[in-house]
Structure 1
Amino acid sequence: MKLKMITILNAVLGSMLISVEIAAAEQPFSDLQSVKWAEDSINYMAKRGTVAGSGNGQFMPERHVTRAQAVTFLVRELYPQQLQAGGGASGYSDVPTTHPFYREIAIAAKNGLASGLPDGTFQPDTAMSRAETAAFLTRAYSLAVGKQSASLKDTADHWAAAPIRIMSSNGLIGGYTDGTYRPDQPVTRAEFSVFLARVIRFEREAAIQAQDWDKLISYMTVSEQVGQMLMPDIRQWKGQVTTTVNEGLKRSIHDQDLGGLILFDKNIVDVRQVTTLTHQLQMEAGDIPLFLGIDQEGGVVKRIPGGTNLPGQMALGAAGDTVLTEAAGRLTGEELRALGLNINFAPVLDINSNPDNPIIGMRSFGSDAELVSQLGAATIKGLRQSGVIAAVKHFPGHGDTSVDSHLGLPVLTHDRERLDAVELKPFRAAIENEVEMIMTAHIAFPAVDNEQVISLKDGSSVPIPATLSQKVLKGLLREQLGYKGVIISDAFTMNAISEHFGEHQAVERAIAAGVDVILMPQDPAAAHQSLVQAVNSGKLPVETIHDSVKRILELKSKYGLFDRSDSLANKLASLNDVIGSKEHRAVEREIAERAVTVLASRDGKHPDQIHQGDRVVIATADKDQAERLKRQLIQASGSLSLKTEIVVISQGKATEAFQAMEQADYVILASYQFRNVASQFGWTDVQTIIDKLNKQSKRYALLSLGNPYEMIHLQNVRSGLAVYGKQEPNTSAGIQVLLGQLEAGGRLPVTAVRRK
């Protein structure tokens, strides 16, 4: 069966069949009160564009269906593309070319869907009987006898006994309370809608059970297919944070037939709430489950409160252990899966070779292509073991940029030889390890695609970003690197896309370029409508959509998403055994402790140590951070009888801040640089304090909490540590090293050399 395409029928028979486009725009029918038993099926078939109302909000459910109308309904379902081309000759003497449904009847005859009477007529305007309905549907869908017992006492000797038995044995038709089927009774519009809806749902379920994705796609409307290719965020609805499945969210899932959603920290109150949310979202999804994704990279990018607080990718890079990295991926996946999430937008495979990168930094494993490749593959393996899809990012590489693609359009000017040796290496390794999802970068790569387009922002000529480039996605990723999995875009709300390309143009161009899933379209409803229109008009080939949807369905099946049998009660009961478990916390601590790296040392091995009875000043620009460090220091110091103070360094007032440090025996000078260009960071205040500490020969430690590039911008640092994050496990490990309780064994995973 071919891809269903919604078309406007040229012929109208009275008020009973109107254009599909009008039907799709109608409000719920107003005359279904007497047929509540059929309401769901009628609405289902109307949404599919198969049946329609009279144009005044009425469906007229008790009206009889004619043979011509029945054929039209089935042709709309089974042969929509042939409707576009015309039907040829009908072959029936009573169906002239002027008949309103000549084309549909001709298509039905051509495909063996409907046969005429012995006298060569079709009797198109005769009411369809319940027996004929069974025969039509059995023939149209090649149905076989099912396993259910069927005993209808008035059908045994009927000419349609066989198709009636097939339908009833599959639970697709039923009899009246007196045990009869009444085969010669005319079928009503309500009854026909119920029978047809049951058959379609039956066939879809059979396709899912058989994992016959081509067959399932043949029963999906264009709306359903392109909906699978959209993954909006749900942070807010009407200005309110979304933490439950509200009516607006339900409508979006149903109206746009959404295939996935991405959650953010705003959607999450606690682990029980988010588990309830994801469960209810899946219950709204119909027979095809949702991708539910999140950015849980660890470290600076994490969304789950109360879960294991992994130190982050650069900490793993400093530890340099693939076994430990695999364990981190596995425990992350176990916690996400327990919460009902099935995609982690991680690991980051960008090689942070540019210290001025404002957005990647410590989200990367490091600046060495081989290290990033090995640890990326280990993370993918760990996530896969837990049953969560790894979506690696950002292809072909966002590491050597100094522009944040959230804010602008970066351009990477390296030649192809350099891209192969550095940026592409981790992605090639991921593909060799059969990664199933790759996220694109909104970055231009002229060495691969030098096309220029006119920006809608200011009319200037701008290079095409990878997300919209066929040469990058189809040429490089699919053909040259041999990738066969799902391609998902980075967020379409980012300025690199939103400023330069219109919503419709960008979405359509991304799909044409090879993107399978659009992440976070600015206007999901508009994106959905645009894609439906592009397919119906032939602007986007149906084969392109089919291939993408098949990859999506295969991946959902591979990770068990179609099995939604686990109850919410069971999910909630298991949370305490998984989220932040003792075993997971142990891995968290091990990563943090093994990551601590000496940046500078007087003896070449250790930072300055804190001694018994020291007056310790904790100096930083962030008072809250200083308070956290103070608590950790007091807790870890035990019987050392330390006296602790906090000094907040205000911008441009380093000298004043140092006055509060003059009586200190030891100074912890905490530095945090992330999400800005390192060379433009305010290093002057830090340098001033270091110079004064050196002049007075004080013991101190420069404690790097963010991107570990201090040694590029600071001079004469005599004692320093990098912990790769300002969160609890990282800073606690650093404090332990300063107290002499832990040896710093991490290796700096980036090149801290000033770029020329």
Structure 2
Amino acid sequence: MGKRSHALASAPFHLAQHAVRWVEATRGGLTLEQKLAQLIVVQSIDSSRENLERFAALGIGGLFCRAGGPIHSLRTAIGHLQSHSRVPALICGDLELGAEGAIGGIGTVFPNQMTVAATGDTRWAERMARIAAREGRAAGFNCSFSPVSDLALNHRNALVSTRSFGDNAVTVAPFVAAYIRALQRGGVAACVKHWPGDGWDDRNQHFVTTRNGLSLAQWEATYGHVYRSAIRAGTLAVMSAHVSLPAFRGAGEAPASLSAALNVRLLRERLGFRGVIFSDASTMGGVTSLAPRPKFVPQIVANGCDLLLFSNDPELDLHYLREAVRDGRLAIARVDEAVTRILALKAALGLWRTHDLSPAVPANVRHRHEQWARDCARHAVTLVKDEQRLLPFSPRRHRRVLLIQEWSHHIPKPNAYAPELELERRLVAKGFRVERFAPDTDVHRDYYDVVIYAIAEEASKVRASMELRWLDLQGGFPRAMDRYWHDVPTVFISFGSPFHLRDVPACPTFINAYSLAPVVQDAVVQALVGAIPFRGRSPVRLSKT
């Protein structure tokens, strides 16, 4: 067995000899143009048969689909692409569940990663991943850009926050590892993100290159610990982000997506990762702000990323890659190395044998998934404090409820199936009379028995801030300065960021629910009325300042 064959038979691919032979024979049968096409993952904005056949003719390495698209459309598009592809394509998606909602529009709306972490039990990470694998495969996916292995170190970071398992590497790492193992046992490749670790900076790499400013010793004890755990768990892929790590020698301020120091010397040589490296999206401001596309597209591959996300014009990106090979900026040996790993990933997923789509998830399995989501939510809702001994509520003592609610209506929903905040309906069903706050509301004990603040702001790729917007919440200035808990018993509930305690440190009753998922909203109301206990524990350190 040659050195390259031995590497394919080892972690994380673990290929048998017949699969190794398929990788080598397939690579040997590809022209340079076809090899370059294998490096590209396109985004399925236009899923017409003509466009899919165009991608297949080019021989693209993978297709990214929005997980929330209608399942029939997903299955039809993916099946058509695979049936026309000489080399089966990776079908990638953000199968994070959480704010992204149900896979295929009919799957399970499971709470986000931070909700899972609040249970304190890694079995929920495993079940979350099992759902993503089963329902993802039924929709046609074979690779998920999950789990998020970042740390929520900066309360202002709106990209990480609730998408993470928390801020403590020692507790986050087991959740990441459990997720990876379960997802890949289910036949879907895990791609942990965002290397070398997001969550330290307060900025969003979709808009600007961001920074991990820890010292190398601090990084090793935090993000390094999580990534080593993910590699030991067998993750098949890592996503290299538009995040810098200046503390690593020779890395400077370059983002990982453009850094051989971070991708090769740190991730591969120091941490020992041998799987596939995806770049984060090449359409993001974190990389487009640094150089023109003809320059940075080949640089991404030359600096250690095996797959380029996303190409909106694959023919043009192929031209950029071809020109870089021709003038020596991109070595053919580097292309062969990347293609070998990409084909090994496909072989590890069994795509060399068949790329037929998995059958639909049976109804009894879907019901089990829904029960898992309910049980996870019931174990996660966290009572941070109840200094006034207000809880539990009862319709007899707290019948008149004033609801002050903000749901981020000004932030685009990730898809049509993402949940809404419907706390009012749930409270009414329990016998409460609920009135919504308006700018002219007279907030007084004579009119209301309790005030509930309900805020729903989960982390999102389209969000630039997680700050509490008092002007929107309480009808502009000067009412934004009013605080009501000195006169009317008040509870603040966050269905998103766990860090709002610093916005209302004097509010005597505070609940973190972490997620907008309907099962979490149900669990919160059940806990408010004392039907279930508050079982959750905070996955992050909370501060009043």
TM-score above 0.5: yes
What is the aligned partner in structure 2 of residue 584 from structure 1?
A: 369
The counterpart of 1:471, out of the listed 257, 261, 285, is 261
Answer with 519-528 or 382-391: which moved more. Answer: 519-528
Which residues in structure 2 correspond to 1:509-548 (within 5 Å)?
Answer: 509-548=299-338
Which residues in structure 2 correspond to 1:179-328 (within 5 Å)?
Answer: 211-235=21-45, 237=46, 242=47, 245-254=48-57, 256-264=58-66, 268=69, 270-286=70-86, 288-302=87-101, 304=103, 305-328=105-128
Task: Tell me how far apart the structure 2 counterparts of residues 477 and 378 of structure 1 sit (CA, whole Å).
Answer: 21
What is the aligned partner in structure 1 of residue 360 from structure 2?
A: 575
1:396 aligns with 2:196: yes
Structure 1 pair 422–658 and aligned structure 2 pair: CA distance change class (3 A) = farther
1:451 deviates by 5.8
Is the 1:608–1:701 Cα contact (8 Å) retained in structure 2?
no
The counterpart of 2:521, out of the listed 710, 715, 731, is 731
Structure 1 pair 430–658 and aligned structure 2 pair: CA distance change class (3 A) = farther
Structure 2: where are the runs of 5+ without partners?
Answer: 1-16, 410-418
Structure 1 pair 545–622 and aligned structure 2 pair: CA distance change class (3 A) = closer
Deviations 1:384-433 (A, max 9, x none): 12111111000110011111000111122221111111122111100111
1:660 deviates by 8.6
3-state SS of 1:621 partner: strand
1:283 deviates by 0.9
Is the 1:310–1:328 Cα contact (8 Å) retained in structure 2?
yes
What is the aligned partner in structure 2 of residue 378 from structure 1?
A: 178
Deviations 1:225-256 (A, max 9, x none): 11111101112x4xxxx3xx3313321331x3
Alignment-mate amino acid for residue 59 of structure 2: D
Task: Tell me how far apart the structure 1 counterparts of residues 19 and 195 of structure 2 sit (CA, whole Å).
Answer: 34
3-state SS of 2:194 partner: strand
1:633 aligns with 2:451: no
Is the 1:295–1:303 Cα contact (8 Å) retained in structure 2?
no
Alignment-mate amino acid for residue 222 of structure 1: L
Identity among equivalent positions (%) equals 27
Is the 2:400–2:450 Cα contact (8 Å) retained in structure 1?
yes
1:610 aligns with 2:394: yes
Task: Tell me how far apart the structure 1 counterparts of residues 147 and 360 of structure 2 sit (CA, whole Å).
Answer: 24
1:596 deviates by 0.0
1:594 aligns with 2:379: yes
What is the aligned partner in structure 1 of residue 152 from structure 2?
A: 352
Task: Tell me how far apart the structure 2 counterparts of residues 621 and 230 of structure 1 sit (CA, whole Å).
Answer: 40
3-state SS of 1:377 partner: helix
3-state SS of 1:575 partner: coil
Q: RCO greater where, 1 or 2, for CA within 8 Å and sep 6 or more? A: 2
Is the 2:137–2:188 Cα contact (8 Å) retained in structure 1?
yes
Task: Tell me how far apart the structure 2 counterparts of residues 498 and 683 of structure 1 sit (CA, whole Å).
Answer: 34
Structure 1 pair 681–353 and aligned structure 2 pair: CA distance change class (3 A) = farther
Is the 2:52–2:77 Cα contact (8 Å) retained in structure 1?
no
1:658 deviates by 4.9
Deviations 1:327-382 (A, max 9, x none): 11112111101111001110000001110112111001101111111100010011
3-state SS of 2:75 partner: helix
What is the aligned partner in structure 1 of residue 284 from structure 2?
A: 494
1:670 aligns with 2:454: yes
The counterpart of 2:210, out of the listed 398, 410, 413, is 410
The counterpart of 1:504, out of the listed 294, 301, 305, is 294
1:727 deviates by 2.5
1:210 deviates by 6.5
Q: Compare the two structures and name the one with the higher strand fraction.
A: 2
Alignment-mate amino acid for residue 514 of structure 2: Y
Alignment-mate amino acid for residue 634 of structure 1: V
Is the 2:501–2:510 Cα contact (8 Å) retained in structure 1?
no
3-state SS of 2:158 partner: coil
Is the 2:147–2:179 Cα contact (8 Å) retained in structure 1?
yes
3-state SS of 2:192 partner: strand
1:645 aligns with 2:448: no
What is the aligned partner in structure 1 of residue 141 from structure 2?
A: 341
Structure 1 pair 543–594 and aligned structure 2 pair: CA distance change class (3 A) = same
What is the aligned partner in structure 2 of residue 619 from structure 1?
A: 404
1:725 deviates by 1.4
Structure 1 pair 398–385 and aligned structure 2 pair: CA distance change class (3 A) = same
Structure 1 pair 551–578 and aligned structure 2 pair: CA distance change class (3 A) = farther
Whose radius of gyration is greater, 1 or 2?
A: 1
Task: Tell me how far apart the structure 2 counterparts of residues 643 and 338 of structure 1 sit (CA, whole Å).
Answer: 43
Is the 2:161–2:497 Cα contact (8 Å) retained in structure 1?
yes
Task: Tell me how far apart the structure 2 counterparts of residues 661 and 517 of structure 1 sit (CA, whole Å).
Answer: 61
Task: Tell me how far apart the structure 1 counterparts of residues 500 and 471 of structure 2 sit (CA, whole Å).
Answer: 8
Task: Tell me how far apart the structure 2 counterparts of residues 662 and 284 of structure 1 sit (CA, whole Å).
Answer: 70
1:306 deviates by 1.6
Structure 1 pair 451–383 and aligned structure 2 pair: CA distance change class (3 A) = closer
Answer with 273-282 or 419-428: which moved more. Answer: 273-282
Which residues in structure 2 correspond to 1:456-467 (within 5 Å)?
Answer: 463-467=253-257
Q: How many residues align?
A: 511
1:694 aligns with 2:485: yes
1:326 deviates by 0.8
Task: Tell me how far apart the structure 2 counterparts of residues 747 and 718 of structure 1 sit (CA, whole Å).
Answer: 18
Alignment-mate amino acid for residue 694 of structure 1: W
1:437 deviates by 0.3
Is the 1:468–1:513 Cα contact (8 Å) retained in structure 2?
yes
Structure 1 pair 376–658 and aligned structure 2 pair: CA distance change class (3 A) = farther
Structure 1 pair 390–471 and aligned structure 2 pair: CA distance change class (3 A) = same
Is the 1:594–1:746 Cα contact (8 Å) retained in structure 2?
yes
Task: Tell me how far apart the structure 2 counterparts of residues 565 and 300 of structure 1 sit (CA, whole Å).
Answer: 29
Structure 1 pair 560–660 and aligned structure 2 pair: CA distance change class (3 A) = farther
3-state SS of 1:366 partner: coil
Alignment-mate amino acid for residue 427 of structure 2: L
Is the 1:392–1:439 Cα contact (8 Å) retained in structure 2?
yes
Alignment-mate amino acid for residue 40 of structure 2: L
Alignment-mate amino acid for residue 247 of structure 1: E
Structure 1: where are the runs of 5+ without partners?
Answer: 1-206, 453-462
Deviations 1:3-22 (A, max 9, x none): xxxxxxxxxxxxxxxxxxxx
3-state SS of 1:670 partner: strand
Alignment-mate amino acid for residue 609 of structure 1: F
Is the 1:671–1:705 Cα contact (8 Å) retained in structure 2?
yes
Is the 1:647–1:660 Cα contact (8 Å) retained in structure 2?
no
Task: Tell me how far apart the structure 2 counterparts of residues 472 and 231 of structure 1 sit (CA, whole Å).
Answer: 22
TM-score scaled to structure 2, two decimals? 0.87
Task: Tell me how far apart the structure 2 counterparts of residues 519 and 657 of structure 1 sit (CA, whole Å).
Answer: 50
3-state SS of 1:419 partner: helix
3-state SS of 1:671 partner: strand
1:661 deviates by 8.3
Structure 1 pair 265–560 and aligned structure 2 pair: CA distance change class (3 A) = closer
Structure 1 pair 626–393 and aligned structure 2 pair: CA distance change class (3 A) = closer
